[in-house]
Amino acid sequence: MDLQIYVVVERLNRLQNEEKTSEIGFREDLEEATKLLLKLKSKLNKNPKQDDHDAISELVTRIDQVSCEIEDAINEDHRAIIGIISNNCIKIRGLSCLGLSSCSSWRRRREHDPHAAGTIKQKFIQLREYYQEILCHHRDYPILLHEEDQEVNTPVLLKEAIGLDEHLERQVIQQLITINNDDNNNMQVVSLCGIGGVGKTTLARQVFNSSDEISFEFFRIIWVNVSPSFTIRDILVQILRYCTKAADEFAREREDTLANRITDYVSKGGRFLIILDDVWSTQVLDDLLHRLRILPFHHKAHRVLVTTRKRQVAEYGIPKPFIFTVRGLTENGSWELFMDSYRRHSGGDEVVRADMEEVSRKMVKRCGGHPVAIIKLAQVLAGRESLNEWNTVHQHLMSILNDSVLQQILTPSFDDLPDHLKLCFLYLGLWPEDSVIDVEKLYHFWIVDGIVKLQDMREGGGSLDIAERYLTELEKMGMIEVEEEDVPTVTRLKSCRLHKMMRLLSISKGKEINFSQYLGSDSSPSSSSSSSRKRVRRLSLCLERQEDTASAIDLITKNKHLHSLHILDPHKQQVRKPVKILPFDVEELKLLRLLDFDGVDFGSYDDKLSGDDQKQNTGLVLQGLSKLVHLKYLSFKRCFLDEYLSLPITSNLQILDLRVDDLINEVILPNVLRNMRRMKHLYLPRMFKTHDGEKLRLDGMTELETLENFITKVCNVADLQTMNKLHSVSVKVDGDFPDLQFINQHLKKPSNGQIQLSIDIRNFDCFVDQRHSLIREVLEYSGVRIFSIEGHINELPSRYNISQGLTKIVLIGSELEKDPMQKLFKLPNLRVLVLDDNAFEGTNMVSPASGFTQLRHLELLNLKFLESWTIENNSMPKLSNMKIENCNKLKFPDGLKSLTALKELEIAKMPTKFVHLLRKMDPTQGEDASLVNYEKITFPISHEITRSEDADKAEASSSALQIT
């Protein structure tokens, strides 16, 4: 209810901030309605009551519906105004539509539809009436909740640790008992972090009860239950109870006195292990460790084990804690727990029949290793004896798991989020189960939908920066898992994942406020039928079978008030051919703001059609795009379509993504982009040309912040001068000295700030000083992030004259005489380095000690002169992926065994002896003696353990290679 009101307030705020509201004159009504709703939100927050919950909830839902109708009516009126303006522009050639009066346009609209303004006014009256009705229900609310009414979140503890990861348990115990030589710190923290109910408390109990080993190492093992409403006094008293039977006598003493008593007991004994279970706030650690650390605990290596669902709590502490991520049960552990629970609820040693085992294993897998979900599944299946009954359960599995037990475990995590992060989290339910979510796309969705707050952007930072901050906060709150970009440029993060049960929570909470609708093979049958009374605003369709497309198009045509439409074909993740989408009339979706095609096949539906007919048939899918005057986002990312792409001219478009599938060699674009003057983020195809053969004009795009795949061969570099707000640009220069010179001079202008540059220079030999000088200047530019060059440069500049911000360097055919490692090893942010086609012509290469501290990926390709490579101590400590190809003279690298973080090594076109030596590093590899054209060696990786500040160092030490 509270979130639903917040959504309405944000909807009205967004309308107030849009230009069209001023044009048609409802700003005062919107301001008044917003104030009323903020008052209502405050009242409901202060005085919640359950008696009239259903009645109030129904009224809040009506307010939501009326606000949607207000928004639609304003948008439709604005669309009609634009239609009037367009008609007049057609009649009066040469007259700019911007010169027409908005008031005049509104008067024309009233003449066309005299009831338009009255209808919208009536909606505002309705909203005020519902507000008054809620106050009538709310009038007798008590001021405060009684203590017994307050909700307490109790951690779930499984009776037996069935299916628990014993390897993880072993690692946790080892970390707790180990005393390092430099362990002068008396209260080292070890954290168990994971989503609610995933088994953190059960694992901690196993440690608590792990008999001899823990008991031998620790004089006292103390268990403390921490709740969201903790007091430091309660925690100190709980600790004291393990020290003395008289603890309750001291319960009323001051907190400092209690802490002193604990110190007295600790000083008399050995090491202490304090387990803090279910910690929700860093304040617990602040208050407790501050009191205990200042006391004389010296040189006893005490430990604190924390269980928490919040990453920010797990990472908190000085020195930084060791963090173990608890992701749930393994596949075998999940099955073991399921069978145990199934037998228990079936009342015997019942075995799952062979014909039922396949479907039951599928259901267990969909539980994502979540113990509570697995136990719930076993309860539901117990007593059901037919295969049909089990198939029915499988079909409705997600609805079955979304019961009060699961909600009780996961909902507190959602409720703890700020309102704007709750909406961010609900958006994640638009993706299919187990999706790797593209965060760049997600950020744009949030921006277009108004979830990224204007006030946050006013305080500093671009919209993408703010969106990334939101996602990082979700990760720290334990709602998602994120993966960093291999080569960070505009954003630090690459993708995020949602646990199956957290996705279920996202969908469930979204349904409560009619946030969105998702249709895919993993959605329950009931989810495909939307309420006729409610308007669906966001629709996500996952196409996995050709037969899905008809029902998908039918759902689109039934929801003409859509604001966001996402059509996704996850064919690449599923390793199959894409599904071909059926034609639909986009023009009917008049209020659409966001249209996202992801991996969709726009190819012909009839292979017998000629080329022109195929284009016409494909065009049916996209017809009417130019009529969508509210459209702000349009994407064809990873899509399959014809060479020629017909783009709509829509003045409100802010984000356009044309990065089609890599299998499409070249896209032919109409030269119309310069007319989209509100564009902020433009992603051009990897390869393209214009329909008329002229250079693509972008000179009208003065609001542009992001520009990707700017190819100087088909774009005019002078257009960059008009982009005063440009924050990030990726450029490809093909042998053109004047173009590169212009880009370099433009970047150095103080008025441009620091534009982040990714540059790919091809066919550019530097045999004269003028060219050498230009390359040196580009490398020195502080904003350059990715630098790739193909051509002779002979020598790199001094390491002091190379930008410290570089994250990726690719050198092809550079013919360097001096070892490039000596110039590059100090770059603090370098993640990827590629040396190809005799980039280095020397015979000996050395990776210096303690150098390349951030390097993750290294490729040595076609270096025909290279004979030896020495890797000095602690060089490339984070290198995880390496490729060596066609370096025929290279002997086995000295120091290769010291690369303890190495996970994957690819070898191609290398001598047999070289490959044999590598195989000895990994005993799991075969002993094939033939010449190997391609070999991939994957090294063993241990269970995840990170230390927050020195994460990779700890990971490297825990995943060292077994050398034989």
pLDDT beyond 60 at 945? no
At 443 the pLDDT is: 95
Contact of 283 with 254, CB cutoff 8 Å: no
Cα–Cα distance, 420 to 588 (Å, whole number)? 31
743 pLDDT higher than 70: yes
pLDDT score recorded for residue 149 = 35
pLDDT: which is higher, 557 or 791: 791
Mean pLDDT of 220-236: 84
> d(Cα 330, Cα 502) in Å, to the nearest integer?
18
CA separation (Å) from 150 to 4, 225, 232, 286, 403? 22, 17, 19, 25, 21
Alpha helices in 529-646 (DSSP H): 548-558, 571-574, 611-622
Residue 950 has pLDDT above 70, yes or no: no
CA angle 344, 350, 355 (to 5 degrees): 125
pLDDT of res. 4? 76
pLDDT at 954 over 70: no
Given this model, what pLDDT does residue 161 score? 63
Q: What is the mean pLDDT of residues 655-671?
A: 89
Which amino acid does the sequence have at 851? G
> Rounded mean pLDDT of 135-150?
43
What pLDDT is stored for residue 181 in this prediction?
A: 61
Q: Where do we find the tokens 């004389």?
A: 296
Who has greater pLDDT, 692 or 922? 692
Q: In the prediction, which pLDDT does 305 show?
A: 92
Q: Is the pLDDT of residue 613 over 90?
A: no
What is each CA distance from 336 to 78, 206, 349, in whole angstroms? 60, 18, 13
What pTM was computed for the model? 0.82
Report which listed range, 40-54, 56-70, 568-582, 827-841, is most confident.
827-841
Between residues 87 and 386, which one has the greater pLDDT? 386
How far is Cα 200 from Cα 155, in angstroms, rounded to an integer? Answer: 9
Calculate what percentage of the chain has a pLDDT beyond 90: 31
Angle formed by the axes of helices 500-512 and 2-17, to 10°? 70
Residue 408, pLDDT > 50, answer yes
pLDDT of 192 > 60? The answer is yes
| pLDDT tens-digit readout, 517-563 | 888 876 665 555 544 446 788 999 988 887 778 888 888 888 888 99
Confidence of residue 20 (pLDDT cuts 50, 70, 90): low
Cα–Cα separations (whole angstroms), residue 233 to 251, 262, 325, 496, 769: 8, 12, 29, 39, 73
Mean pLDDT of 165-192: 79
CA distances (Å), 214 to each of 218, 457, 934, in order? 6, 51, 48
Q: What is the pLDDT of residue 47?
A: 59
Q: Considering just the CA atoms, what is the radius of gyration of the chain in Å?
A: 31
Instruction: Tell me which of 433 and 148 has the higher pLDDT.
Output: 433
Residue 741 has pLDDT above 60, yes or no: yes
pLDDT band at 160 (very low <50, low <70, confident <90, very high): low
pLDDT of residue 637: 92
Cα 850 to Cα 161: distance, rounded to the nearest angstrom: 43
CA distance 836 to 883: 11
Q: Who contacts 557 (Cβ-Cβ below 8 Å, separation ≥6)?
A: 584, 585, 588
**Among the listed ranges 37-51, 82-96, 534-548, 914-928, which one has the minimum average pLDDT value?**
82-96
Inform me whether the pLDDT recorded for 81 exceeds 60.
no
Query: In this predicted structure, what is the pLDDT of residue 472?
Result: 94
Where helices occur in 541-610 by DSSP H, the ranges are 548-558, 571-574
Pairing of strands 667-669, 633-635: unpaired
Tokens standing for residue 117: 């303004």
Q: Name the least confident of 436-450, 521-535, 622-636, 874-888.
A: 521-535
Is residue 852 predicted with pLDDT exceeding 70?
yes
pLDDT of residue 267: 75
pLDDT higher at 35 or 439: 439
Range scoring the smallest mean pLDDT among 659-673, 734-748, 937-951: 937-951
pLDDT (0 to 100) of residue 648 = 67
Partner residues linked to 657 by β-bridges: 635, 683
Give yes or no for a cis peptide into 319 (omega within 30° of 0): yes
Find the mean pLDDT for residues 666-688. Answer: 90
Average pLDDT in the 919-929 region? 52
- How confident is residue 640, by pLDDT bands cut at 50, 70 and 90? confident
> What was the pLDDT predicted at 261?
83
Residue, of 164 and 190, whose pLDDT is higher: 190
Give the model confidence (pLDDT) of 496-508 as tens digits: 999 988 998 998 8
More confident residue, 820 or 370: 820
Q: Would you say residue 100 has pLDDT above 60?
A: no
pLDDT value at residue 861: 96
**DSSP helix/strand/coil, 14:** helix
Q: Is the pLDDT of residue 785 over 70?
A: yes
Quote the pLDDT of residue 730.
Answer: 96
Question: For residue 569, what pLDDT is reported?
Answer: 87
pLDDT of residue 692: 81
Which pLDDT does position 952 carry in this prediction? Answer: 41
Distance (Å) of CA 206 to CA 278, 279, 800 = 15, 18, 54
In this structure, the strands spanning 881-885 and 857-861 are parallel
Amino acid 857: pLDDT: 96
pLDDT for residue 951: 38
Residues 6+ apart with CB under 8 A from 6: 41, 419, 422, 423
Mean pLDDT for 352-356 is 83
Residue 415 pLDDT greater than 70, yes or no? yes
Report the pLDDT value the prediction gives residue 826, as an integer from 0 to 100. Answer: 95
What is the per-residue pLDDT for 21? 58
Chain mean pLDDT for the chain:
79
Q: State whether residue 242 is helix, strand or coil.
A: coil
- Of the candidates 363, 364, 359, the one whose C-alpha atom is nearest the C-alpha of residue 335 is 364
**Which pLDDT score, from 0 to 100, does residue 828 have?**
95
Please tell me whether residue 681 adopts helix, strand or coil conformation.
Answer: strand
Q: Residue 183 has what pLDDT? A: 56
Label residue 863 by pLDDT band (50, 70, 90). very high
Closest listed residue to residue 862, CA positions, set 891, 885, 834, 844: 885
In the DSSP assignment, the letter for residue 491 is: -
Q: In this predicted structure, which of 180-184, 339-343, 669-673 has the lowest mean pLDDT? A: 180-184
Q: Of 609 and 190, which is predicted with more confidence?
A: 190
| Residue of 94 and 294 predicted with greater confidence | 294
Average pLDDT for 227-253: 81
Q: For 717-728, what is the mean pLDDT?
A: 92
The string of pLDDT tens digits covering residues 588-605 is 888 899 999 998 888 644
Which CA distances in Å does 736 have to 205, 763, 784, 911?
67, 9, 19, 39
pLDDT score at 118: 62
Arithmetic mean of pLDDT, 857-869? 96
- Give pLDDT, residue 801: 93
3-state DSSP percent of the chain in helix, strand and coil, to 5 = 45, 15, 40
Kindly tell me if the per-residue pLDDT of 262 is higher than 50: yes
**pLDDT > 90? residue 566:** yes
Positive/negative CA dihedral, 604, 608, 614, 616: negative
Is pLDDT of 89 > 80? no
pLDDT at position 61 is: 74
Amino acid identity, position 865? F
Sort strands 844-847 and 868-871 into parallel, antiparallel or unpaired. parallel
The rounded Cα 514 to chain-centroid distance in angstroms is: 23
